[in-house]
């Protein structure tokens, strides 16, 4: 007689939920779904029930990856990454299962840097940015707060809404893996384009690739040129000093800002010129040759 496969228990705390425990649970769900194992999610603070869990996260007071215990609320914490950010339950779970889910150490590391570390930092009360305005960035943590029941909604909605949040987090993680794989491939293509470039200040591509922070490794590039997929035109973009800062290594000439067609053609002497953004980070030309000419003028300006 065929044995019925054991249903794995994923246990976390009940009550209010946060992006940390949501994503830790989503990670475990993806891992078990990938291996075609059955599981159920239990939200409780009952110590007797917690002890029966196959995977326990963000509750239980134990951090032991071999035993699949992933709590981080102990005195003194549970350790830090090399970047100085302490682990929370999401990071602990991903540290063990991220490679198995993403099938790539490079992808797993990229996702930890871009998605998991910020969530762990927030959950541990670590600020990643300096607040300079009354208006703050809307973070992924703020999005998941919206899924939590309000004070006017019934408390029993916490479990229902937690499952809703898990479904969304699984999609975010799945898309993060796809983007991570394609980003790493793009970085290899961009690195080759840099190596092959005659003029290291201008990188010319056969299509758009997300260049993120790849050029942090190469200080010379100032402009990148690629065709726009939906129109028969060529884009010239500045390269930022840092990925998430809107400060270019070199702007287009100030006098080009906001000009279009004949006005831009007259001031540049390039008949293929179409447009230069008023903030001087992008220009457009009708042809590849025209784009290269605009970039060369900008480099020398």
> Strand (E) positions, 55-137?
55-57, 63-64, 69-70
Share of the chain above pLDDT 70, in %: 98
- Condensed to tens digits (0 to 9), the pLDDT of residues 199-216 reads 999 999 999 998 877 888
Name residues whose C-beta falls within 8 Å of residue 74's C-beta, 6 or more positions apart in sequence.
61, 63
Whether residue 1 is predicted with pLDDT greater than 60 in this model: the reply is no
- Condensed to tens digits (0 to 9), the pLDDT of residues 127-139 reads 888 888 888 889 9
pLDDT at 41: 97
Cβ neighbourhood burial of 95 (10 Å; 0-12, 13-18, 19+):
middle
Dig out the tokens for 129 from the structure: 């940015």
Name residues whose C-beta falls within 8 Å of residue 235's C-beta, 6 or more positions apart in sequence.
208, 225, 226, 227, 228, 282, 283, 284, 291
> Per-residue confidence at 156, pLDDT binned at 50, 70, 90?
confident
Whether residue 296 is predicted with pLDDT greater than 90 in this model: the reply is yes
Whether residue 108 is predicted with pLDDT greater than 80 in this model: the reply is yes
pLDDT at 4: 66
Cβ neighbourhood burial of 288 (10 Å; 0-12, 13-18, 19+):
middle
DSSP 67: G
Q: Chain centroid to CA 285: how far?
A: 31
pLDDT at 70: 97
Average pLDDT rounded to a whole number, residues 39-56:
96
> Per-residue confidence at 150, pLDDT binned at 50, 70, 90?
very high
- Condensed to tens digits (0 to 9), the pLDDT of residues 75-96 reads 888 999 998 999 999 999 999 9
- Condensed to tens digits (0 to 9), the pLDDT of residues 223-259 reads 999 999 877 899 999 998 876 677 899 999 999 999 9
Q: Which helix (H) or strand (E) holds 157?
A: helix 157-196
pLDDT at 291: 96
Q: Quick check: 58 and 72 in contact, CB under 8 A?
A: yes
- Condensed to tens digits (0 to 9), the pLDDT of residues 10-32 reads 999 999 999 999 999 999 999 99
Dig out the tokens for 28 from the structure: 């475990």
- Residue 170: phi and psi, rounded to 5, are -60, -40
Sketch the domain layout of the chain as residue ranges. 8-127+135-182, 198-300
């Amino acid at each position: 007689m065929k044995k019925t496969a054991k249903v794995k228990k994923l246990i976390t705390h009940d009550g209010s939920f946060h992006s940390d425990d949501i994503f830790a649970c989503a990670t475990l769900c993806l891992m078990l779904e990938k291996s075609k194992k059955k599981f159920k999610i239990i939200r409780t603070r009952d110590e007797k029930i917690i002890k029966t869990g196959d995977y326990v996260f963000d509750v239980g007071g134990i951090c032991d990856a071999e035993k699949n215990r992933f709590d981080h609320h102990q005195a003194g914490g549970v350790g830090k990454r090399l970047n100085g950010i302490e682990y929370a339950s999401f990071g602990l779970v991903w540290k063990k299962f991220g490679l198995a889910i993403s099938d790539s150490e490079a992808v797993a590391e990229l996702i930890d840097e871009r998605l998991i570390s910020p969530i762990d930092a927030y959950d541990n009360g670590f600020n990643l940015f300096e607040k300079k305005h009354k208006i703050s960035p809307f973070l992924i943590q703020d999005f998941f707060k919206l899924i939590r029941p309000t004070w006017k909604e019934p408390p029993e909605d916490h479990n229902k809404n937690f499952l809703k949040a898990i479904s969304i987090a699984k999609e975010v993680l799945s898309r993060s893996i796809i983007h991570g794989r394609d980003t790493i491939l793009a970085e290899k293509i961009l690195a080759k384009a840099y190596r092959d470039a005659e003029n290291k200040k201008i990188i010319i591509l056969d299509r758009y690739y997300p260049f993120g922070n790849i050029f942090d490794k190469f200080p010379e590039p100032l402009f990148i040129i690629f065709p726009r997929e939906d129109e028969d035109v060529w884009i010239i973009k500045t390269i930022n000093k840092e990925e998430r800062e809107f400060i270019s290594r070199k702007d287009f000439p100030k006098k080009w800002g906001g000009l279009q067609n004949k006005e831009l053609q007259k001031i540049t002497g390039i008949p293929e010129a179409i447009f230069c953004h008023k903030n001087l980070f992008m220009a457009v030309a009708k042809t590849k040759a025209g784009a290269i000419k605009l970039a060369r003028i900008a480099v020398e300006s």
